[in-house]
Chain A
Amino acid sequence: QVQLVETGGGLVRPGNSLKLSCVTSGFTFSNYRMHWLRQPPGKRLEWIAVITVKSDNYGANYAESVKGRFTISRDDSKSSVYLQMNRLREEDTATYYCSRDGYDKNYAMDYWGQGTSVTVSS
Protein backbone atom coordinates (compact mmCIF):
# COMPACT_ATOMS: atom_id res chain seq x y z
CA GLN A 1 0.00 0.00 0.00
CA VAL A 2 1.03 3.61 -0.52
CA GLN A 3 2.93 5.08 2.40
CA LEU A 4 4.58 8.43 3.02
CA VAL A 5 6.64 9.03 6.17
CA GLU A 6 8.02 12.43 7.12
CA THR A 7 10.95 12.92 9.47
CA GLY A 8 13.25 15.71 10.52
CA GLY A 9 11.00 18.02 12.48
CA GLY A 10 11.90 19.52 15.83
CA LEU A 11 12.61 22.68 17.81
CA VAL A 12 14.86 25.23 16.12
CA ARG A 13 15.90 28.80 16.84
CA PRO A 14 14.82 31.63 14.52
CA GLY A 15 17.32 32.09 11.71
CA ASN A 16 18.48 28.50 11.79
CA SER A 17 17.95 25.68 9.31
CA LEU A 18 16.21 22.32 9.21
CA LYS A 19 15.84 19.63 6.57
CA LEU A 20 12.71 17.50 6.33
CA SER A 21 12.59 14.14 4.59
CA CYS A 22 9.66 12.17 3.21
CA VAL A 23 10.28 8.53 2.38
CA THR A 24 7.64 6.85 0.24
CA SER A 25 6.72 3.32 -0.75
CA GLY A 26 4.01 1.38 -2.52
CA PHE A 27 4.01 3.28 -5.82
CA THR A 28 6.34 4.31 -8.64
CA PHE A 29 7.68 7.46 -7.02
CA SER A 30 9.46 8.74 -10.12
CA ASN A 31 6.14 9.11 -11.95
CA TYR A 32 4.61 11.59 -9.52
CA ARG A 33 4.94 15.23 -8.65
CA MET A 34 5.32 15.67 -4.90
CA HIS A 35 4.18 18.47 -2.61
CA TRP A 36 5.04 19.87 0.78
CA LEU A 37 2.31 21.59 2.77
CA ARG A 38 2.05 22.85 6.31
CA GLN A 39 -0.59 23.55 8.91
CA PRO A 40 0.03 25.92 11.82
CA PRO A 41 -1.74 24.88 15.03
CA GLY A 42 -5.49 25.43 14.65
CA LYS A 43 -5.17 26.96 11.19
CA ARG A 44 -5.88 26.01 7.60
CA LEU A 45 -3.62 24.03 5.34
CA GLU A 46 -1.04 25.98 3.35
CA TRP A 47 0.68 24.62 0.27
CA ILE A 48 4.36 25.54 0.20
CA ALA A 49 6.19 23.69 -2.57
CA VAL A 50 5.93 21.22 -5.44
CA ILE A 51 8.55 19.36 -7.46
CA THR A 52 7.88 17.85 -10.85
CA VAL A 53 9.23 14.68 -12.43
CA LYS A 54 12.38 14.00 -14.45
CA SER A 55 10.65 14.56 -17.79
CA ASP A 56 9.79 18.08 -16.58
CA ASN A 57 13.38 18.65 -15.45
CA TYR A 58 12.47 18.36 -11.77
CA GLY A 59 11.03 21.85 -11.87
CA ALA A 60 10.02 23.39 -8.54
CA ASN A 61 7.48 25.99 -7.53
CA TYR A 62 7.07 27.70 -4.16
CA ALA A 63 4.61 29.72 -2.15
CA GLU A 64 5.61 33.36 -1.81
CA SER A 65 5.87 32.93 1.96
CA VAL A 66 8.84 30.54 1.61
CA LYS A 67 10.37 31.49 -1.74
CA GLY A 68 14.10 32.09 -1.39
CA ARG A 69 14.28 30.36 2.01
CA PHE A 70 12.99 26.83 1.34
CA THR A 71 14.20 24.35 -1.29
CA ILE A 72 12.38 21.21 -2.37
CA SER A 73 14.33 18.32 -3.88
CA ARG A 74 13.89 14.65 -4.62
CA ASP A 75 15.89 11.47 -5.02
CA ASP A 76 14.01 9.02 -7.21
CA SER A 77 16.48 6.24 -6.37
CA LYS A 78 15.40 6.55 -2.72
CA SER A 79 11.72 7.34 -3.43
CA SER A 80 12.17 10.37 -1.26
CA VAL A 81 11.40 14.07 -1.31
CA TYR A 82 13.07 16.68 0.86
CA LEU A 83 12.47 20.18 2.12
CA GLN A 84 15.49 22.27 3.10
CA MET A 85 14.31 25.14 5.28
CA ASN A 86 16.70 28.05 5.87
CA ARG A 87 16.35 31.35 7.76
CA LEU A 88 13.45 29.95 9.72
CA ARG A 89 10.97 32.31 11.34
CA GLU A 90 8.52 31.87 14.21
CA GLU A 91 5.66 31.93 11.70
CA ASP A 92 7.08 28.78 10.09
CA THR A 93 5.94 26.85 13.16
CA ALA A 94 3.57 24.16 11.87
CA THR A 95 3.02 20.50 11.14
CA TYR A 96 4.61 19.78 7.77
CA TYR A 97 3.13 17.22 5.41
CA CYS A 98 4.34 15.70 2.17
CA SER A 99 1.72 14.56 -0.30
CA ARG A 100 1.47 12.88 -3.67
CA ASP A 101 0.01 14.72 -6.63
CA GLY A 102 -2.78 12.67 -8.17
CA TYR A 103 -2.22 13.61 -11.81
CA ASP A 104 -5.02 11.24 -12.83
CA LYS A 105 -7.37 12.84 -10.29
CA ASN A 106 -7.26 16.41 -11.55
CA TYR A 107 -4.13 16.96 -9.43
CA ALA A 108 -5.84 16.29 -6.12
CA MET A 109 -3.43 15.32 -3.35
CA ASP A 110 -4.38 11.71 -2.97
CA TYR A 111 -1.93 10.45 -0.33
CA TRP A 112 -0.44 12.24 2.65
CA GLY A 113 2.13 11.45 5.29
CA GLN A 114 1.36 11.68 9.01
CA GLY A 115 3.26 14.94 9.28
CA THR A 116 6.28 16.18 11.23
CA SER A 117 6.14 19.06 13.68
CA VAL A 118 8.43 22.06 13.37
CA THR A 119 8.63 24.64 16.15
CA VAL A 120 10.63 27.81 15.62
CA SER A 121 11.21 29.57 18.89
CA SER A 122 13.96 31.26 20.85
Chain B
Amino acid sequence: ETGVTQTPRHLVMGMTNKKSLKCEQHLGHNAMYWYKQSAKKPLELMFVYNFKEQTENNSVPSRFSPECPNSSHLFLHLHTLQPEDSALYLCASSQGPRTDRAEAFFGQGTRLTVV
Protein backbone atom coordinates (compact mmCIF):
# COMPACT_ATOMS: atom_id res chain seq x y z
CA GLU B 1 0.00 0.00 0.00
CA THR B 2 1.65 3.20 -1.20
CA GLY B 3 -1.00 5.71 -0.21
CA VAL B 4 -2.00 6.26 -3.84
CA THR B 5 -5.22 4.54 -4.87
CA GLN B 6 -6.34 4.05 -8.44
CA THR B 7 -9.77 2.89 -9.61
CA PRO B 8 -10.78 0.87 -11.42
CA ARG B 9 -7.97 -1.70 -11.48
CA HIS B 10 -9.18 -3.12 -14.79
CA LEU B 11 -11.25 -1.52 -17.53
CA VAL B 12 -12.46 -2.79 -20.88
CA MET B 13 -14.04 -0.20 -23.13
CA GLY B 14 -15.19 0.14 -26.70
CA MET B 15 -13.79 2.74 -29.02
CA THR B 16 -16.96 4.84 -28.79
CA ASN B 17 -17.23 4.74 -24.99
CA LYS B 18 -16.43 7.45 -22.50
CA LYS B 19 -14.85 6.42 -19.22
CA SER B 20 -12.78 7.98 -16.46
CA LEU B 21 -9.85 6.79 -14.40
CA LYS B 22 -9.55 8.02 -10.84
CA CYS B 23 -6.52 8.56 -8.64
CA GLU B 24 -6.55 9.59 -5.00
CA GLN B 25 -3.75 10.37 -2.55
CA HIS B 26 -3.85 11.55 1.03
CA LEU B 27 -0.11 11.92 1.49
CA GLY B 28 -0.18 15.70 1.48
CA HIS B 29 1.62 15.80 -1.86
CA ASN B 30 1.39 18.72 -4.23
CA ALA B 31 2.39 17.07 -7.49
CA MET B 32 0.44 14.37 -9.31
CA TYR B 33 1.27 12.53 -12.52
CA TRP B 34 -0.30 10.31 -15.15
CA TYR B 35 1.91 7.77 -16.89
CA LYS B 36 1.18 5.27 -19.64
CA GLN B 37 3.03 1.97 -19.86
CA SER B 38 2.51 -0.16 -22.92
CA ALA B 39 3.63 -3.77 -23.02
CA LYS B 40 7.39 -4.15 -22.50
CA LYS B 41 7.97 -0.42 -22.81
CA PRO B 42 9.21 2.21 -20.37
CA LEU B 43 6.83 4.48 -18.58
CA GLU B 44 5.72 7.44 -20.68
CA LEU B 45 4.95 10.61 -18.81
CA MET B 46 1.57 12.02 -19.93
CA PHE B 47 0.60 14.85 -17.61
CA VAL B 48 1.95 16.65 -14.56
CA TYR B 49 -0.04 18.71 -12.11
CA ASN B 50 1.55 20.94 -9.49
CA PHE B 51 -0.73 22.56 -6.93
CA LYS B 52 -3.74 21.60 -9.10
CA GLU B 53 -2.33 23.35 -12.15
CA GLN B 54 -1.28 21.41 -15.22
CA THR B 55 2.39 22.06 -15.81
CA GLU B 56 3.18 19.37 -18.34
CA ASN B 57 1.33 17.87 -21.29
CA ASN B 58 3.69 15.53 -23.06
CA SER B 59 2.03 15.81 -26.49
CA VAL B 60 -0.83 13.60 -25.40
CA PRO B 61 -3.76 13.23 -27.86
CA SER B 62 -6.90 15.13 -26.94
CA ARG B 63 -8.87 11.90 -26.48
CA PHE B 64 -7.12 11.84 -23.08
CA SER B 65 -8.36 14.67 -20.87
CA PRO B 66 -6.97 15.11 -17.35
CA GLU B 67 -8.69 16.85 -14.49
CA CYS B 68 -7.33 17.82 -11.07
CA PRO B 69 -10.12 19.27 -8.93
CA ASN B 70 -7.94 19.41 -5.81
CA SER B 71 -4.48 18.36 -4.74
CA SER B 72 -5.70 14.95 -3.56
CA HIS B 73 -7.56 13.80 -6.66
CA LEU B 74 -6.63 13.31 -10.28
CA PHE B 75 -8.81 12.02 -13.10
CA LEU B 76 -8.12 10.90 -16.63
CA HIS B 77 -11.17 11.17 -18.88
CA LEU B 78 -11.13 8.87 -21.88
CA HIS B 79 -13.18 9.12 -25.07
CA THR B 80 -13.01 7.62 -28.55
CA LEU B 81 -9.88 5.68 -27.75
CA GLN B 82 -8.03 3.43 -30.15
CA PRO B 83 -6.90 -0.17 -29.58
CA GLU B 84 -3.28 1.04 -29.40
CA ASP B 85 -4.25 3.02 -26.28
CA SER B 86 -4.55 -0.27 -24.40
CA ALA B 87 -1.94 -0.10 -21.63
CA LEU B 88 -1.32 0.15 -17.92
CA TYR B 89 -2.12 3.69 -16.75
CA LEU B 90 -0.28 4.71 -13.64
CA CYS B 91 -0.87 7.61 -11.31
CA ALA B 92 1.81 8.94 -9.01
CA SER B 93 2.28 11.72 -6.51
CA SER B 94 5.24 13.45 -4.95
CA GLN B 95 5.93 16.42 -2.74
CA GLY B 96 6.87 18.33 -5.87
CA PRO B 97 7.37 20.48 -7.75
CA ARG B 98 11.14 20.28 -7.65
CA THR B 99 12.61 16.91 -8.57
CA ASP B 100 15.85 17.15 -6.69
CA ARG B 101 13.97 15.06 -4.16
CA ALA B 102 12.41 12.71 -6.69
CA GLU B 103 10.65 10.22 -4.43
CA ALA B 104 7.28 9.48 -5.96
CA PHE B 105 4.58 7.11 -4.84
CA PHE B 106 2.73 5.15 -7.48
CA GLY B 107 -0.67 3.57 -7.52
CA GLN B 108 -1.25 0.01 -8.64
CA GLY B 109 -2.42 1.20 -12.02
CA THR B 110 -5.46 0.67 -14.22
CA ARG B 111 -5.13 -2.01 -16.87
CA LEU B 112 -7.06 -0.58 -19.82
CA THR B 113 -8.14 -2.64 -22.80
CA VAL B 114 -9.76 -0.90 -25.76
CA VAL B 115 -11.79 -3.19 -28.02
Q: Do A and B come from one complex?
A: no
* Chain B residues proximal to chain A, CB less than 8 Å: none
* Chain A residues proximal to chain B, CB less than 8 Å: none
